[in-house]
Amino acid sequence: MFSTLFFAIMNACVKLLEHIPAHEIIFFRCFISLVASYIQLQAIGVSPWGNNKVALILRGIFGMTSLTAFFITLQRMPLASAVTIQYLSPIFTIIFAGFILNEKARPVQYLFFLLAFAGVVLVRGFDNRIATGDLLLGLTSAVFSGLAYNMIRKSRNTEHPLVVVFYFPLVALPLISVWSFTHWVNPAGWDWLLLLIVGVSTQAAQVLMTRAFQLEKASSISGWQYFGLVYSLAIGYFLFDEAYPLASLAGMLLIVAGVLMNYFYDARMAKRS
């Protein structure tokens, strides 16, 4: 729940920084996270280099790809719409978990997934502010986010959560630096404060989210991220003066309903077992 709140703060700041390229925001976010994670790891006496390096490096690559696509959609689309589409990631988390973690979904759960995808169709079909290319970019973000969450889950028994968080900027920063310095826009005034808030809030959110995925099954914990939609609708309405057609709101509810139905079904099956 706290992770979701910090992610909502980050999303709002990224939206306010529409004039700064997404990759440049990620550069600042990764730099702050790399320094903060290293200092925290040194303070508690944990080696930052980890054990399952393949999973950690893949988590960094998948996470960077997902975050880049997500930041671009945040800047191009209404806030709640961008967040809702990216929130399809729990579905992809569960699908990939069947192959990567051997955490198989039951057949009825795929009906819940279809319900959520029907919501995406409603969100896109009744909001002409959402371009098809941006919708596909949002889905790409959700896919790679699902892969990243599985890498986090895969490292649950071998890595400290701060090590997992540390590897994200460790992998992403060298790659994103080249892109940033060839397409640089100088921040000015309040931009610096917003960039700092992006880095700090994301660091807090990542640590909390990583620990949550290490403590609980991927299919169970993913649904709780959907409380962020409430934050996004409120922030979009009060801060960015964004309104949504009723059909789009219905689509958002379908997406949330599909994932939460899956969560409660999975929890009930686990309790029965």
In residues, how long is the chain?
Answer: 273
Per-residue pLDDT averaged across 132-137, rounded?
92
Distance between CA atoms of residues 77 and 138, nearest Å = 10
The region of weakest confidence among 21-35, 81-95, 155-169 is 81-95
pLDDT the model gives residue 114: 87
Judge whether 255 and 88 are in contact, CB under 8 Å. Answer: yes
In eight-state DSSP terms, residue 128 is T
Q: State what percent of residues in the chain have pLDDT above 90.
A: 43
pLDDT for 28 beyond 80: yes
* Beta-carbon count within 10 A of 264 CB: 12
| pLDDT tens profile 191-236 | 999 999 999 998 898 788 878 877 877 666 766 777 777 788 889 9
